[in-house]
Structure 1
Amino acid sequence: MSDIDDDDYTPQLSAATLAVLQQHMREQTEQQERFEKLRQLAEEKFDAVNAEEVDEKITMEYFTEDWQMSQFWYDDETAGKLASEIFEQASESDVVCCISSPTAYVTAMADDRAKGRKNNMFLFEFDTRFDVYGRQFIHYDYNKPTDFRLATELEGKVDMIVVDPPFLSEECLEKTLDTVKYLLKPNGKLILCTGLVMAKLATTRMPGLKITDFHPGHRNGLSNDFRCYANYDSKRWTRQ
């Protein structure tokens, strides 16, 4: 029998394991400090003046994927194409909303072409890390399709929407599309990114919406057949 009392035994980490743990803690601390800096900028410039005066360019490198929230970031090519669609299809005075599509929004806001239009671009997102965008961030829960800040002001006034429902389920898609219908102008432009399995429901619920030959890609891959749907024609895709 060992002379060590099991109740008093404390396991010791190896030097290598301890070093990895300490590095991870340092990275978390550094990331938190970066967020605090961004939040301070948001308070001082987004809310006090306007989005145009924020010099700090936020990129997706600030945000790690949280799979518990079903977060799968687009790859750079996809995010760039969606951002370019926004700039080419919406004028500076148009209102644009990215719903549960933070990669597209962050990429667009960091683009030089966003100058002059940032105050008309909004991110609807459940993850509160994105509140670094100040008043342009709207906390959004798809379970409450029309219950969010600025709901009355934006109802039926949005010119373009890029939406990517967080969960691949009929319930999530239906409720998210309820939000889209609530916000979008009668002739507004819509880009929906979701699985091929949702094709029938999506095109039935949104007349004019059709599947395209554009296949959005993700940084860490995705096992589902992921597709892009749109209610308008573009040089980037063919609607089927």
Structure 2
Amino acid sequence: MNSDSEPELSADTLQILQQVMREQQEQEERFEQLRQQALKDKAEEEAITMDVFREDWQLSQFWYDDETSETLAREILDNTNAESLVCCISSPTVYVKLMSMDPPGKNNMFLFEFDTRFEVYGRQFVHYDYLTPSEFRLAEELKGSVDLVVVDPPFLNEDCLTRTLETVKFLLKEGGKIVLSTGLVMAPIAAAAGLELTTFMPSHRNGLWNDFRCYVNYKPSRFTLKA
């Protein structure tokens, strides 16, 4: 074979590649079905799982494992009722788990997220970019009225966390609750915002080398404050 010849894949490699492509196509078809349902206002939230959404590492997406997402979803339910306003900011794993539980106040629960694939949730999806928070829709409607916010800033740096916490401050009502999931390295910024470190350590499906922690501004029900 001369240097101008195209490299050939082995039979085993080709078979693996074809399998990956088939799985991706099936996932895309399932996602399109959900999207069409949402456009018709007939999205079945309880049928949506995170398996529909592939992580996009370019967007710094690292999905929680089932135990973490369920713990945080139940923490929301423990501290809200059907009339409470809830926002999950850059934390789609928690939101998807929460919707799958068919909570009584689901129409008052919103997902603020950059990834437009989550538009399957219709009006409860708010396209959100932490760099331009003033542009997200529903801003004035929700200003100062949200009872509980779960937030997981997409990037582990001071600028991202500071900007995202400004959004939280904008949304939260007086006495509202915050659940922040981010790295231990962000502890000083969290503390400056009035958040305390807890014993809960969020974990991710595919692992993450950063030491992730959870911070709150109230006494949580599913985990405890760190002594």
Taking the aligned partners of 2:148 and 2:66, their CA distance within structure 1 comes to 21
Amino acid at match of 1:140: Y
Q: Which of 102, 124, 135 lines up with 2:123 in the alignment?
A: 135
- The equivalent of 2:74 in structure 1 is 84
**Contact 1:214 1:228 (C-alpha < 8 Å) held by counterparts:** yes
- The equivalent of 1:214 in structure 2 is 200
Instruction: Give unpaired runs (5+ residues) of structure 2.
Output: none
**Contact 1:99 1:125 (C-alpha < 8 Å) held by counterparts:** yes
- The equivalent of 1:44 in structure 2 is 40
What TM-score, normalized to structure 1? Answer: 0.89
Q: Does 1:156 align with 2:152?
A: no
Question: Cα distance 1:87–1:32, how it changes in 2: closer, same or farther (>3 A)?
Answer: same
Q: Does 1:30 align with 2:52?
A: no
What TM-score, normalized to structure 2? Answer: 0.94
SS at match of 2:134: coil
SS at match of 1:27: helix
Identity %: 62
> How many pairs align?
226
Q: Does 1:12 align with 2:8?
A: yes
Shift of residue 56, structure 1, vs aligned partner: 5.2
Question: Cα distance 1:10–1:220, how it changes in 2: closer, same or farther (>3 A)?
Answer: closer
Q: Which has the larger radius of gyration?
A: 1
Taking the aligned partners of 2:45 and 2:182, their CA distance within structure 1 comes to 33
Over the aligned positions, Cα root-mean-square deviation in angstroms equals 1.6
Shift of residue 145, structure 1, vs aligned partner: 2.3
Q: Does 1:185 align with 2:173?
A: yes
Shift of residue 10, structure 1, vs aligned partner: 3.0
Instruction: Give unpaired runs (5+ residues) of structure 1.
Output: none
SS at match of 1:131: helix
Amino acid at match of 2:206: N
Question: Cα distance 1:106–1:57, how it changes in 2: closer, same or farther (>3 A)?
Answer: same
